[in-house]
Structure 1
Amino acid sequence: MKKYAICGVSNRAIGMFIQPMVKKFSASSRVVGLLDRDSKRFTVCKQEVPEVKDVPVYQHDEFDRMIKETKPDVVIVASRDDTHVNYILEALAHDLDVITEKPMTTTAEDSRRVVEAEKRSKGKVTVTFNYRYNPYHMKIKELIQSGKLGRITSVDLNWYIDTYHGSSYFQRWNRKREYSGGLSIHKSSHHFDLIHWWLDQKPEEVFSFGALNYYGPESEYNPLKEDGRNCKTCHVKDDCAYYRRWNTRSDQLFVQDDHIASDEARKESYTNYRPDQCIFDSEIEIEDTYTATVKYDRGALLSYSINFSLPYEGYRLAINGTKGRLETKEFHAPSRVPFPVPEQTIEYFPLFGAKETIQVLTQQGGHGGGDPVIQEDLFIGEDPKRSFTTLSGSQDGAYAVMTGEAVWRSVKEKRAVTIDELFTAPSFT
């Protein structure tokens, strides 16, 4: 039986870790402590998961006290991105294992600190890159590992975020780089980790372009240049294309009954937390559009793009090798797409021969069926029958962060950025 302490009682912590531990993995896992800076989050958690009603709670500056009193084996970090590094370092200083949400940190420097701290500690860091566990992504790993594509030469990955999902990043804390690292870290670290894992290659150099095209005060969709608005009370929301696309007129009514309050309304009850800040505020300082080229240490090249305001959500992927090419296209959230979407398949084109269509066995669960599988690996142990390692470590987390930082730095500094200049510590190998 392993004991777990939770740092950051977020919605993600509740759904991804706490509920599965008490409902599915209770034979091997026990939650012994909850830590957060907002006491209201403890109330929400204990209402939603009655099994933890007697678990002691701690304020954000009571980490040492929590460790002393609860004696956990593992610390789970699911707080705001910029706070990850402090909890990870404190846990490692206590020789405890750490499971952290992605991104591991928000800066290359903080990632270097984690990697070095782990070398001095008896503890181990695991980063929950659950995109690896999507059944299609695992099949792609199998195909590459089997040699079906030969030596990988280039990858094209175009990621699309729709107006519903994309705008949400600009309504919350993510819109400030000091909190999220920017979307090239907060979101794209998922994608960069996938590429690193698929190819088993390390990034060396990044060149990118980026811009704020859809959000912020200069957006052509901004109905009024006025800071400080919130969607629920905004006096010009009827002139906002984003609001009108995803809200009916009845959504404007305030819901007072706690039993029928929406998830967003629940989040608004958290202290100093608003998930409906105006997407056109002047404080928005991050980009919503990127294109990037990444060079890897064994010769592969990545052509990557991401856009946070599109009519539908999903991605297009092509991987080229000396023996053939792989293609796939996926639509996320089909309920938000106003047209029929095809079932995802993987198309394999040998360099000389006929195309092969590969069907993939899927399963239920979040992130395309990947969440239940990563939860098994986290709380039971990695599947010994799997031919490759899937859980991510601190170096995986660090490479994903530094690739994302190289992207936004390249945009700002208008030059290629090398990974070596972000990670100068000789201990990082």
Structure 2
Amino acid sequence: MRKRYAICGVSNRAIGMFIGPMLKTFSEQTEVVALLDIDPKRHLVCKEKYPQLAGVGEYGPQEFDRMVQETQPDVVIVTGRDDTHVTYIVQALEKDLDVITEKPMATTGADCRKIIDAEAKSKGNVTVTFNYRYAPIHTKIKEMVLSGKIGRVTSIDLNWYIDTYHGSSYFKRWNRIREISGGLSIHKSSHHFDLVNWWIGQKPVEAFAYGALNYYGPEGELNPKKEDGRHCGTCDVRQDCAYYTRWSTRSQDLHIKDDHLGTVNSVRPTEAYTAYRPDACIYDSEINIEDTYAATVRYDQGALLTYSVNFSLPYEGYRLAINGTHGRLETMEYHAPSRVPFPTEVQTIDYYPLFGAKETIHVVQREGGHGGGDPVLLEDLFLGPDPRRAYDILSGSLDGAYSIGTGEAVWRSVKEGKPVRIDDVLSSPLVTL
């Protein structure tokens, strides 16, 4: 029996990650019965790409109740802008519907509490699509920790690098406004915090952090001209902007990748979505988020995380080390080898026993987005979790809440100059992970 799905937020991510595979790969298990978005042009773009959706109902943000009444979905998929997630999730739970939501589940700890409380009263359940968990290298790390190979986890070092193409894109778009995205310690780092939480199986308790806006905003050192309201497409000093000229030529403008609110699409390549441009100036004074963080997180079973992230670097990837009472594992990944200006090696995992010989583990690669994680995540969502897997991997609302709670605690600590407890961010203690 096919389940019926309503899509709330007809973004590029919704179309590419969910709607396309549902129609092509999982058509026997799924049926798209409704599209909801603030911009009717998104419905048009989606249906031109997939004409088989021609008869699917279209709804605006204020028509959620009518959508449910008319289309009777079993599941709501939430893939709009981050600040819209909590509204649709809670509305769906109040109608006893299941929810699949993109990360971050919400943008504040307070909104996470609303979701947790609504789910407790509902017959519906929330699933958060943390696809990073599904990358083969990441599942192998989970298996190594579970096997006891490094013993009890004592500390984690995670340094995340975002290159000048990807990093600057957050400051050209809606992500640069904290009230919409929650800031990058939530919008981006919640992915990283969830990975650590899942790998080590411990609950984050407290965070202390420093953060700054070093590269972007009006005080950015490479700002060619202090002036608000500029856009790359029409800027008179864009050829003096290193971030622009690194990725563009005089005859070809930079194409901004935006999973959630992209302005250019393959069906209507010259048309922008209504009232939205993804090429706002990275030096604008409305930017109110940070581009650099260094943080320490303490966990309930004693582990300590040392974490940093930087959104303006020459290459993209991360360095990870997990230490335990029996040994240590290390790995380094480049996310975007096509953009890295020098050769990179295939990612491996190095295991160092506390006493003994080093081992290097070569992990079999898989095709697909997010390091091969997306296709397997979709199978779990639409076919059910793989019964051969010996551990939980699909994320629920508690996982979503603790990743966001950690991100908000990091930001609060930056502002307040003191450690911040995650349960305080989430209003009250939640069930242990």
> Same fold judged by TM-score > 0.5?
yes
Partner of 2:324: 321
- SS at 1:281's partner residue? coil
Given that residues 176 and 285 in structure 1 are in contact (C-alpha distance below 8 angstroms), is that contact kept between their aligned partners in structure 2? yes
2:295 to 272, 286, 292: 292
Given that residues 330 and 351 in structure 2 are in contact (C-alpha distance below 8 angstroms), is that contact kept between their aligned partners in structure 1? yes
* Worse-matched range after superposition: 279-288 or 53-62: 53-62
The one-letter amino acid paired with 1:320 is N
1:252-271 pair list within 5 angstroms: 252=253, 266=269, 269-271=272-274
Partner of 1:58: 59
Distance in 2 between the 1:268 and 1:168 partners? 19
Q: 1:120 to 1:253 in 2, by over 3 A?
A: closer
Partner of 2:380: 377
Task: Encode CA deviations 1:288-307: one digit per residue, 9 max, x unaligned.
Answer: 00000000000000000000
1:248 is displaced (CA, Å) by: 1.1
1:336 to 328, 334, 339: 339
Partner of 2:277: 274
2:316 is the counterpart of 1:310:
no
The one-letter amino acid paired with 1:103 is P
1:56 is displaced (CA, Å) by: 1.0
2:64 is the counterpart of 1:48:
no
The one-letter amino acid paired with 2:9 is G
Q: 1:336 to 1:102 in 2, by over 3 A?
A: same
Partner of 1:124: 125
Given that residues 116 and 428 in structure 1 are in contact (C-alpha distance below 8 angstroms), is that contact kept between their aligned partners in structure 2? no
1:423 is displaced (CA, Å) by: 2.4
1:347-358 pair list within 5 angstroms: 347-358=350-361
Q: 1:221 to 1:426 in 2, by over 3 A?
A: closer
- SS at 1:72's partner residue? coil
Q: 1:365 to 1:253 in 2, by over 3 A?
A: closer
Given that residues 326 and 349 in structure 1 are in contact (C-alpha distance below 8 angstroms), is that contact kept between their aligned partners in structure 2? yes
Task: Encode CA deviations 1:243-285: one digit per residue, 9 max, x unaligned.
Answer: 000001111499xxxxxx7669859610111110000000000
The number of residue pairs the alignment matches comes to 423
The one-letter amino acid paired with 1:236 is V
Task: Encode CA deviations 1:200-235: one digit per residue, 9 max, x unaligned.
Answer: 100001000000000000001100000000001100
1:60 is displaced (CA, Å) by: 1.1
User: Structure 2: which 5+ runs fail to align?
Assistant: 256-263
Distance in 1 between the 2:175 and 2:153 partners? 34
- Let me know the Cα RMSD of the aligned residues: 1.5
Distance in 1 between the 2:226 and 2:291 partners? 19
Partner of 2:219: 218
Partner of 1:238: 239
* Worse-matched range after superposition: 329-338 or 44-53: 44-53
After TM superposition, the score normalised by the length of structure 1 is 0.96
The one-letter amino acid paired with 1:223 is P
Identity of aligned residues (%): 68
Distance in 2 between the 1:200 and 1:230 partners? 44
The one-letter amino acid paired with 1:301 is L
Partner of 2:96: 95
Partner of 1:424: 427
Distance in 2 between the 1:59 and 1:262 partners? 21
The one-letter amino acid paired with 2:221 is E
1:425 is displaced (CA, Å) by: 3.1
Partner of 1:257: none
Distance in 1 between the 2:328 and 2:274 partners? 50
- SS at 2:374's partner residue? helix
1:48 is displaced (CA, Å) by: 1.6
1:367 is displaced (CA, Å) by: 0.4
1:53 is displaced (CA, Å) by: 2.0
The one-letter amino acid paired with 2:379 is E
Given that residues 214 and 220 in structure 1 are in contact (C-alpha distance below 8 angstroms), is that contact kept between their aligned partners in structure 2? yes
Structure in which a larger fraction of residues adopt helix: 1
Q: 1:210 to 1:263 in 2, by over 3 A?
A: farther
Given that residues 207 and 410 in structure 1 are in contact (C-alpha distance below 8 angstroms), is that contact kept between their aligned partners in structure 2? yes
Distance in 2 between the 1:88 and 1:253 partners? 35
Distance in 1 between the 2:190 and 2:226 partners? 32
- SS at 2:112's partner residue? helix
Q: 1:305 to 1:100 in 2, by over 3 A?
A: same
Given that residues 423 and 429 in structure 2 are in contact (C-alpha distance below 8 angstroms), is that contact kept between their aligned partners in structure 1? no
The one-letter amino acid paired with 1:151 is R
1:427 is displaced (CA, Å) by: 6.0
Distance in 2 between the 1:193 and 1:93 partners? 26
The one-letter amino acid paired with 2:29 is S
- SS at 1:87's partner residue? helix
Distance in 2 between the 1:209 and 1:77 partners? 32
1:50 is displaced (CA, Å) by: 2.1
1:47 is displaced (CA, Å) by: 1.5
Distance in 1 between the 2:265 and 2:86 partners? 31
Given that residues 268 and 275 in structure 1 are in contact (C-alpha distance below 8 angstroms), is that contact kept between their aligned partners in structure 2? no
2:31 is the counterpart of 1:30:
yes
1:148-187 pair list within 5 angstroms: 148-187=149-188
Task: Encode CA deviations 1:362-418: one digit per residue, 9 max, x unaligned.
Answer: 110000000000000001101000010100000000000000000011001111101
